[in-house]
Structure 1
Amino acid sequence: MFLVAIIIIGSFFAFNENDTFKNKDQRMEIVSNQKLNGKMKIEIWSDVMCPFCYIGKEKFETALSEFAYKNQVEVEWKSYQIMPELQTQPDKSIHEVLVDQKRISLEQAKQLNGYATQMAKHVGLTYNFDKTVPVNTLKAHQFQHFAKENGKGDQAEEIMFKAYFTDGKNVDDIPTLVSLGQSIGLDGVALQQALENQIYIQAVKKDITEAQEIGVNGVPYFVFDRKRAISGAQDPKVFLEILRKSFEEWREEKPKGKLDLIEGAVCKPDGTCEQ
């Protein structure tokens, strides 16, 4: 799906409380792990060059900040490419890419990107499409996976969005990504080696395949406890409502610590032993 399509329809995506997932075993495994670690998982499929993904992130985080049990929620960012075939073109503007791909005028392309810029402004973000570098985001997703594995997934997502939309940096460039990683406390040498050797390429492809399996056809896409999904940059009230519903159900299903017991001879803390 190209950028123009996202700009036109992204803000109108609706949440779906009854989304079903094709891989039931996969869902059960993930839900089981969530319950064991004591947190409800929210997975977010996203692409760094998707304008509504950054906006959706801000709106979701606004809702999460108002959620009473936010410390019992784990957020995991997942990879998705809206333009997987796009070649990085540092000397070309995103407006020109739109012109070539959609056969529209330069003025129309700027108007479409201007729409996204105004949406971003409403949530406190600054988009500079005149500076944006059209890129293939495969390396950026590998960077995100490295950061996630090192406990910096949220910080990496934020810094990449800002680098792309606000600062006009080339997020397909390894030195740029290493610099971004170091700014959030990642090991620059290890990150560079990971990117050069494409250590996380299979992890990125796995996320993209998984998105296809559960029916993701546009981003941002938010999955709550593998039961509910929200597509698009929705109002924070929508996110908060689904957060509450999902968490209530998750807490009800979460093991309370009582186990099926087969009794035998034991010694108790008071020193008594019984057969």
Structure 2
Amino acid sequence: MTVPTDNRVRITVWSDYVCPFCYLQEPVLERIRAEYGERVEVERRAFELRPDPLPTLDPQGEYLRTTWDRAVYPMARQRGMTLRLPPVQPRSRNALEAAEFARDQGRFDEMHNALFRAFFEEGRDLNELDVLLDAGMSVGLDREQLRAALEEGRYTEKVLADERLAYELGVQAVPTMLVGRASDPLEAAEALSGAQPYEYVRAAVERALQGNRREKLRGTTFLPQLPTL
């Protein structure tokens, strides 16, 4: 039986495939989904950290190395994940569009995970077409159909629409999660910014199920604030 929207929680997540904290949040979200089943829906939306013409980060620079040493590697060990600092810092628009193609093919979750693994475990450049096509093939997508979708920019507007909505709601960093009842507007959701521990996300889900909210999105700061990019 499908759970009515009044009794279901929606977690809307803005993330980017070049953000390590977005990848580090995945085990928490999967645990929540496993625990709550149909009572929790995870809705994923795109957010480019550094769209053109903003400069990308220097993969050998002090900022990234310090961030990884102080935050990424310790959190990865804590969550039982293996990440390594990628040798490149690519644009992510094409990867986000590839994920949207996969969504239309019913393979979003698989592609979502494949893109994270390709970048943070294999160190592959997500701005290279062949890397995206390889990821797609690995999860059962048609290589040439994916190529055509990317070359034609078929999903560009979908990615841009997600980003416009993020800006309208005040989302400024990733990962950002809006946790609220599925029947309520996103503006009414509680905002969690950063790679949150399971206990914090679960508490937000419980508040939403009970109709309570600790923090609205508009006119407030995100609490609690944990690592983001």
Identity of aligned residues (%): 27
Q: How does 1:1-275 map to 2 (within 5 A)?
A: 35=5, 40-67=9-36, 70-85=37-52, 94-95=59-60, 99=61, 106=62, 109-115=64-70, 116-129=72-85, 131-225=86-180, 226=186, 227-249=189-211
Q: Mind listing any 5+ residue stretches in structure 1 that lack a counterpart? A: 1-33, 100-105, 251-275
CA-CA distance at 1:88 after TM superposition? 9.4
Q: Mind listing any 5+ residue stretches in structure 2 that lack a counterpart? A: 181-185, 213-229
Deviations for 1:21-61, whole angstroms, at most 9, x for unmatched residues?
xxxxxxxxxxxxx839x954321100111111111222222
Give TM-score, length-normalised by structure 1.
0.66
State the distance in 1 between where 2:104 and 2:126 align.
Answer: 19
Give TM-score, length-normalised by structure 2.
0.78
State the distance in 1 between where 2:147 and 2:201 align.
Answer: 36
How many residues were matched structurally? 201
Identify the range of structure 1 (190-199 vs 179-188) with the bigger mean alpha-carbon deviation. 179-188
Higher relative contact order (CA 8 A, sep 6+): 1
SS in 2 for 1:66: helix
Q: Is the 8 A contact 2:8 2:209 kept in 1?
A: no
Measured on the aligned residues, the alpha-carbon RMSD in Å equals 2.5
SS in 1 for 2:171: coil
Q: 1:248 to 1:74 in 2, by over 3 A?
A: same
Q: Is the 8 A contact 1:93 1:132 kept in 2?
A: no
State the distance in 1 between where 2:53 and 2:167 align.
Answer: 19
Q: Is the 8 A contact 1:59 1:235 kept in 2?
A: yes
Residue 253 of structure 1: aligned partner: none
SS in 2 for 1:229: strand
State the distance in 2 between where 1:247 and 1:109 align.
Answer: 38
CA-CA distance at 1:218 after TM superposition? 0.8
CA-CA distance at 1:73 after TM superposition? 2.5
State the distance in 2 between where 1:156 and 1:84 align.
Answer: 21
CA-CA distance at 1:142 after TM superposition? 0.3
SS in 1 for 2:173: coil
Q: Is the 8 A contact 1:42 1:222 kept in 2?
A: yes
Q: 1:72 to 1:185 in 2, by over 3 A?
A: farther
**Residue type at the aligned position of 1:35:** T
State the distance in 2 between where 1:56 and 1:126 align.
Answer: 13
Q: Is the 8 A contact 1:164 1:170 kept in 2?
A: yes
SS in 1 for 2:30: helix
Q: 1:87 to 1:214 in 2, by over 3 A?
A: closer
Deviations for 1:163-218, whole angstroms, at most 9, x for unmatched residues?
11110011111111111111112222211110111100010000000000011011
CA-CA distance at 1:112 after TM superposition? 2.6
SS in 2 for 1:94: coil
